Amino acid sequence: MLRIIAEPGQFYVSSAFTIATNIIAKKKVDKEIENITPVSDGELHGYTDTLYRKIRMYYINDGIYGCFFDCLLYPGWFIPSHFKDDDEKVFDSIIWGPTCDAVDLIIENIKLPDLKRGEWIYFKNMGAYAFQCVTSFNSMPKVKEYFICERVLWEEIYPLEQSRLIKTTQGE
């Protein structure tokens, strides 16, 4: 007899919500990369050159001590989206959380357009457990939650609430 034990919660609620985060700081840095120089026949010389490439480091207002705890377990799991045109030039980028903790890394080695402080990026499919470990580590405030629902779905789930809402908005 085959017995399967699983936790379907993550599967069913993987698209539970989208989180919008604000870019609170930006820094351009030179990242050192190692380049091994091959000879013309494809063999390596045996020495390396140090090259540098400019990357953009973005700091957002949430991190692993907030909704991105799963980044510790699944690096690169959450891919950001932005509100820029898709045909804009992209740059090598890293996204960090706000705490200045070396492990507060959201994602690295990602291509993003040039974003500015105050702009928003968002992450879809944050999953069932994104709020379970939210803390105020390093005096960072906990994220605010705003619930948004399509009207049709709301009316289906809360038909009586809808009629009360209409009466309230009409001044009764």
User: Each residue of 15-36: pLDDT tens digit?
Assistant: 778 889 999 999 998 877 665 5
Which residue, 6, 5, 17, 111, is CA-closest to 58? Answer: 111
Which residue, 71, 70, 59, is CA-closest to 29? Answer: 59
Is residue 46 a part of any domain in this protein?
yes
End-to-end CA distance of the chain: 62
Is residue 24 a part of any domain in this protein?
yes
Widest Cα–Cα separation across the chain: 85
Is residue 2 a part of any domain in this protein?
no
Instruction: Please check the confidence at residue 51 and state whether its pLDDT lies above 50.
Output: yes
Distances (CA, A) of 121 to 33, 47, 49, 86, 134: 27, 41, 36, 14, 20
Is residue 28 a part of any domain in this protein?
yes
Instruction: Please check the confidence at residue 100 and state whether its pLDDT lies above 70.
Output: yes
Tell me the whole-structure pTM to 2 decimals. 0.70
Is residue 156 a part of any domain in this protein?
no
Is residue 137 a part of any domain in this protein?
no
Q: Residues 67, 71, 100, 133: which is the catalytic one?
A: 100
Domain that holds residue 116: 14-131
Is residue 148 a part of any domain in this protein?
no
The pLDDT value given to residue 160: 66
State the total domains in the chain. Answer: 1
Task: Please compute the mean of the pLDDT values over residues 108-121 and round it to a whole number.
Answer: 94
CATH number at residue 112: 2.40.37.10
Please say if 100 is a catalytic residue: yes
